[in-house]
């Protein structure tokens, strides 16, 4: 069907994905258009829900012909305006109907549709005795492969294997006009997606682009043998500097799959959930070690214990063990604070040498904003986590507010019942979002970079102009009419 005006787009999309998969009610468009940031941009004109890579390509072609931008969305559990439309005249592409997973145990890769969640991917691969090396964010019950590779992400497995992008070996991407491009050995006419490098790294070009350069439809990710042994250790420290120094030394061994620090305010939350041994603990450092041989894992744990034990006090390791036992369950409590606060992370990615300074600067910023923090009942907690070779330092800013459409649909039922009808608190929201942006600006001034750039982090302002111009030229070549997620990455 030829489409000449925006008004006909709904009919053209229905012809491609079926009537049930085109959403036009105000409520659905708003739900799909707004992320968790509490900083909504526009509401999409229409939401299309393709069920296959072919349908993604057809949706993109329909929109391109009509001259209407497309914006891809995965699980929608992000908070940097990446999928929020810069203007309302867009087709929002929800990928969550796409859930096919093909596991190739012999060649050690999995091909997943972009709408597969990390929990689904873990279940499908572990049933075959394998796993992706990085195996998901804490939000992996909702976060999809497509959204996560477009943001880049770290947590489970990252201490040894790095980020989601580091573990990706091939992509299938639908370009602005609907052309399907494959990367790495997947692009070989007679090949398969078994290795990332075949000519220049086009896989890398599309990773972490927050959907600015194309709509991913499928991804090939490396597999490893499923580790059957998992052990954990935890240590208490009086200062962040002490915990951070031990963490850095442990990270050099690259044997801890997860290696992270919690702050005293986080401990207060976990104590309420039953982790009473955190009473009196200031900063805590946690490490998970995995493998297929118990003797080897024991030896690696002993090495880490030797480092942390020099300056820290060993405590019960139930926290990292509980996270491993239900990797994607705990994150859900992070939707809404226990007293009706929304929680919004902001982070800087730093080399080991700058983490202590970043934490000191964050503490000084919080101290200097003490009056406004107390006035609006703001809170700040901290998570510090290692990915192979670097550190993410993440303050989480809380404020009392209405919970918004995403949390209302997905937060645990008891939380929605308790806080679902809380009215908007615009003054606290202004103070909380301002503090979040102050953290981002400060980290950028210290040379920190960011995952999840979206339309929120100051990417354009922070990179050298020649670099941004090069990226702009690539965007111009791939999407000359600026019809793919306009505004993402500042493009
Ligand atoms: C409680 C909680 C815990 C979290 N834990 C972690 C964590 O441990 N580690 C971490 O790194 N992050 C974490 N996050 C942040 C976030 O959940 C992750 O970044 C997650 O990967 C987002 O995935 P998604 O599918 O929801 O992406 P979305 O929010 O749907 O999209 C993110 C970006 O990707 C783009 N995109 C989506 N699909 C495609 C596609 N098919 N093609 C091209 N572009 C696309 C969108 O346009 C957008 O710019 C957490 C968030 C919450 C709320």
pLDDT tens per residue, range 415-446: 888 888 899 999 999 999 999 999 999 999 99
pLDDT tens per residue, range 112-140: 999 999 999 999 999 999 999 999 999 99
Q: Are strands 229-237 and 379-387 parallel, antiparallel or unpaired?
A: unpaired
Give the mean pLDDT of the chain: 95
The yes-or-no verdict on residue 147 having pLDDT over 90 is yes
Ligand 1 center–CA 482 separation, angstroms: 22
- How would CATH label the architecture of 229-325? 2-Layer Sandwich (3.30)
Instruction: Report which protein residue has its CA nearest ligand 1's atom 31.
Output: 147
- pLDDT category of residue 236 using cuts at 50, 70 and 90: very high
User: Three-state secondary structure along the chain?
Assistant: CCCCCHHHHHHHHHHHHCHHHEECCHHHHHHHHCCCCCCCCCCCCEEECCCCHHHHHHHHHHHHHHCCCEEEECCCCCCCCCCCCCCCCCEEEECCCCCCEEEECCCCEEEEECCCEHHHHHHHHHCCCEECCCCECCCCCCCEHHHHHHHCCCCECHHHHCCCHHHEEEEEEECCCCCEEECHHHHCCCCCCCCCCCCCCHHHHHCCCCCCCCEEEEEEEECEECCCEEEEEEEEECCHHHHHHHHHHHHHHCCCCEEEEECHHHHHHHHHCCCHHHCCCCEEEEEEEEECCHHHHHHHHHHHHHHHHHHCEEECCHHHHHHHHCCCCHHHHHCECCCCEEEEECCEEECHHHHHHHHHHHHHHHHHCHHHHHHCCCEEEEEEEEECCEEEEEEEEEEECCCHHHHHHHCCHHHHHHHCCCCCCHHHHHHHHHHHHHHHHHHHHCCCECCCCCCCCCHHHHCCHHHHHHHHHHHHHHCCCCCECCCHHHC
Query: In the structure encoding, which two tokens stand for residue 468, read together?
Result: 């941004």
The yes-or-no verdict on residue 405 having pLDDT over 60 is yes
Q: Cβ(165) to ligand 1 under 6 A? A: no
Class at the top of the CATH hierarchy for domain 6-96: alpha beta
| Beta-carbon contacts of residue 160 (< 8 Å; ≥ 6 apart) | 133, 254, 255, 256, 257, 388
pLDDT tens per residue, range 301-333: 999 999 999 999 999 999 999 999 999 987 777
Q: How far is CA 37 from CA 56, 84, 142, 335, 468, in A?
A: 27, 10, 16, 11, 25
Q: Cβ(451) to ligand 1 under 6 A? A: yes
The yes-or-no verdict on residue 477 having pLDDT over 60 is yes
pLDDT tens per residue, range 242-267: 999 999 999 999 999 999 999 999 99
Within a 13 Å sphere around the CA of 72, how many CA atoms are in the beta-carbon half? 36
Q: Cβ(486) to ligand 1 under 6 A? A: no
- pLDDT category of residue 214 using cuts at 50, 70 and 90: very high
pLDDT at residue 334, as a whole number: 73
Query: In the structure encoding, which two tokens stand for residue 246, read together?
Result: 């031990």
Instruction: Report which protein residue has its CA nearest ligand 1's atom 34.
Output: 147
Contact 35, 80 (CB under 8 A): yes
pLDDT at residue 418, as a whole number: 87
The model's pTM is 0.97
Q: Cβ(95) to ligand 1 under 6 A? A: yes
Percentage of the chain with pLDDT > 70?
Answer: 98
pLDDT at residue 6, as a whole number: 54
Q: Cβ(147) to ligand 1 under 6 A? A: yes
pLDDT at residue 277, as a whole number: 93
Q: Cβ(242) to ligand 1 under 6 A? A: no
User: Three-state secondary structure along 187-217?
Assistant: HCCCCCCCCCCCCCCHHHHHCCCCCCCCEEE
Query: Could you tell me which of 260, 284, 259 has the C-alpha nearest to residue 271?
Result: 284
- pLDDT category of residue 400 using cuts at 50, 70 and 90: very high
Report d(CA 132, CA 222) in Å as an integer.
6
Substitution candidate for ligand 1 out of 151, 155, 451 with most atoms within 8 A of CB: 151
pLDDT at residue 338, as a whole number: 67
Ligand 1 center–CA 196 separation, angstroms: 22
The yes-or-no verdict on residue 4 having pLDDT over 50 is no
pLDDT at residue 436, as a whole number: 98
Q: Cβ(317) to ligand 1 under 6 A? A: no
- Specify the higher pLDDT residue, 403 or 2: 403
Ligand 1 center–CA 153 separation, angstroms: 8
pLDDT at residue 340, as a whole number: 83
Instruction: Report which protein residue has its CA nearest ligand 1's atom 14.
Output: 139
Per DSSP, what are the bridge partners of residue 235? 285, 314
Ligand 1 center–CA 239 separation, angstroms: 32
Residues 138-161 have a mean pLDDT of: 97
Q: Cβ(96) to ligand 1 under 6 A? A: no
Instruction: Report which protein residue has its CA nearest ligand 1's atom 7.
Output: 137
Query: Could you tell me which of 432, 263, 421 has the C-alpha nearest to residue 344?
Result: 432
Instruction: Report which protein residue has its CA nearest ligand 1's atom 32.
Output: 147
Query: Would 6-96 and 229-325 be classified into the same CATH topology?
Result: no
Query: Could you tell me which of 243, 341, 458 has the C-alpha nearest to residue 38?
Result: 341
The yes-or-no verdict on residue 27 having pLDDT over 60 is yes
Residues 32-54 have a mean pLDDT of: 96
pLDDT at residue 420, as a whole number: 87
Ligand 1 center–CA 187 separation, angstroms: 26
pLDDT at residue 3, as a whole number: 53
The yes-or-no verdict on residue 1 having pLDDT over 60 is no
Percentage of the chain with pLDDT > 90?
Answer: 90
Substitution candidate for ligand 1 out of 143, 208, 390 with most atoms within 8 A of CB: 143
Ligand 1 center–CA 200 separation, angstroms: 26
Class at the top of the CATH hierarchy for domain 330-445: alpha beta
Q: Cβ(136) to ligand 1 under 6 A? A: no
Report d(CA 226, CA 335) in Å as an integer.
30
Q: What number does the ligand 1 atom closest to the CA of 214 have?
A: 43
Ligand 1 center–CA 380 separation, angstroms: 22
Instruction: Report which protein residue has its CA nearest ligand 1's atom 27.
Output: 147
Q: Cβ(150) to ligand 1 under 6 A? A: yes
Q: Cβ(385) to ligand 1 under 6 A? A: no
Q: Does domain 101-225 have CATH number 2.40.160.20?
A: no
Q: Cβ(454) to ligand 1 under 6 A? A: yes
Query: Could you tell me which of 201, 75, 78, 80 has the C-alpha nearest to residue 459?
Result: 80
The yes-or-no verdict on residue 276 having pLDDT over 50 is yes
Q: Give the residue extent of every domain in the chain.
A: 6-96, 101-225, 229-325, 330-445
Query: In the structure encoding, which two tokens stand for residue 380, read together?
Result: 């700040």
Report d(CA 51, CA 154) in Å as an integer.
27
The yes-or-no verdict on residue 202 having pLDDT over 80 is yes
Substitution candidate for ligand 1 out of 90, 137, 163, 411 with most atoms within 8 A of CB: 137
Instruction: Report which protein residue has its CA nearest ligand 1's atom 49.
Output: 82
Ligand 1 center–CA 445 separation, angstroms: 25
pLDDT tens per residue, range 446-468: 999 999 999 999 999 999 999 99
Q: Cβ(485) to ligand 1 under 6 A? A: yes
Q: Cβ(337) to ligand 1 under 6 A? A: no
């Amino acid at each position: 069907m030829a489409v000449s005006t925006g008004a006909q787009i709904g009919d053209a999309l229905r012809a491609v994905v079926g009537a049930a998969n085109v959403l036009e009610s105000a409520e659905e468009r708003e739900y799909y258009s707004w992320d968790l940031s509490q900083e909504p941009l526009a509401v999409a004109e229409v939401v299309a829900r393709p069920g296959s890579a072919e349908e993604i390509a057809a949706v993109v072609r329909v929109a391109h012909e009509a001259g209407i931008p497309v914006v891809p969305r995965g699980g929608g559990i992000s908070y940097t305006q990446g999928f929020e439309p810069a203007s309302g005249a867009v087709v929002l592409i929800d990928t969550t109907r796409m859930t096919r997973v093909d596991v190739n145990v012999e060649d050690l890769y999995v091909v997943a549709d972009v709408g597969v969640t990390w929990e689904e991917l873990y279940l499908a691969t572990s049933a075959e005795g394998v796993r992706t090396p990085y195996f998901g964010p804490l939000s992996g019950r909702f976060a999809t492969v497509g959204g996560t590779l477009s943001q880049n992400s770290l947590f489970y497995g990252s201490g040894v294997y790095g980020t989601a992008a580091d573990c990706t070996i091939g992509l299938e991407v639908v370009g602005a006009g609907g052309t399907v491009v494959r990367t790495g050995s997947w692009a070989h006419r007679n090949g398969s997606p078994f290795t990332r490098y075949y000519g220049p790294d086009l896989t890398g070009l599309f990773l972490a682009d927050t959907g600015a350069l194309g709509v991913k439809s499928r991804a090939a990710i490396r597999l490893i043998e499923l580790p059957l042994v998992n052990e954990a250790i935890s240590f208490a420290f009086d200062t962040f500097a002490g915990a951070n120094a031990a963490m850095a030394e442990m990270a050099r061994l690259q044997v801890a799959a997860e290696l992270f620090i919690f702050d005293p305010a986080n401990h207060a939350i976990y104590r309420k959930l039953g982790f009473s041994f955190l009473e009196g603990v200031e900063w805590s450092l946690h490490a998970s070690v995995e493998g297929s041989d118990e003797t080897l894992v024991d030896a690696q744990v002993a090495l880490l214990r030797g480092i942390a034990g020099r300056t820290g006090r060993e405590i019960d390791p139930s926290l990292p063990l509980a996270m491993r036992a239900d990797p994607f369950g705990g994150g859900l409590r992070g939707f809404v604070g226990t007293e009706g606060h929304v929680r919004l992370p902001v982070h800087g990615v730093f080399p080991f040498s700058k983490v202590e300074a970043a934490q000191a600067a964050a503490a000084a910023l919080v101290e200097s904003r003490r009056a406004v923090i107390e006035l609006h009942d703001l809170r700040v907690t901290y998570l510090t986590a290692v990915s192979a070779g670097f550190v993410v330092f993440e303050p989480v800013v809380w404020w009392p507010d209405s919970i918004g459409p995403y949390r209302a649909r997905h937060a645990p039922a008891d939380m929605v019942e308790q806080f679902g009808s809380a009215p908007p608190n615009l003054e606290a929201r202004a103070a909380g979002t301002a503090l979040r942006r102050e953290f981002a600006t400060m980290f950028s001034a210290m040379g920190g970079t960011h995952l999840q750039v979206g339309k929120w982090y100051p990417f354009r302002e922070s990179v050298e102009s020649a670099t941004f111009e090069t990226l702009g030229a690539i965007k111009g070549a791939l999407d000359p009419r600026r019809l793919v997620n306009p505004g993402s990455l500042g493009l």
